[in-house]
Amino acid sequence: MDPKTLWQEYLGLSSVDQQLVLDFIAFLHSRESADSGSQRPTGTGSESEFFGMWQDREDLGDTREWLRSMRKREWTSSLG
C-alpha cells in the first residue's frame, strides 16, 4: 500500500481506531528499541532457574498427557 492510500485509510477510521493505530506504532517502536538494547537469550530452557520446578508434582503425572487432555476438554467444551 502506498503512503497516500495508507493515509487516506487512516483518515477514514474513527478517532478511537486512529488512536489504536498510533498506539500500535508506538508499541512497535518500543519493542524495536527494547530488542536492539538487549540480546535475546540463547541456549535451552534448561538453563533457566525455573526449569524442572514441577518435576516433583505427582498430581500432574505425565505432563504431556495432562496438557493434551486439558486442551481437548477445553476446546471440546468451547465448540459444543
Nearest alpha carbon to residue 37 among 29, 45, 48: 29
User: Does a structural domain hold residue 8?
Assistant: yes
Mean pLDDT for the stretch of residues 27-37: 76
Q: How far apart are CA 3 and CA 9, in angstroms?
A: 10
Tell me the residue range of the domain where 32 lies.
Answer: 1-37
User: Does a structural domain hold residue 9?
Assistant: yes
Q: pLDDT digits over 37-79, tens only?
A: 555 555 566 666 667 776 777 776 777 787 788 888 888 766 6
Count of domains for the chain: 1
Higher pLDDT, 35 or 21: 21
User: Does a structural domain hold residue 45?
Assistant: no
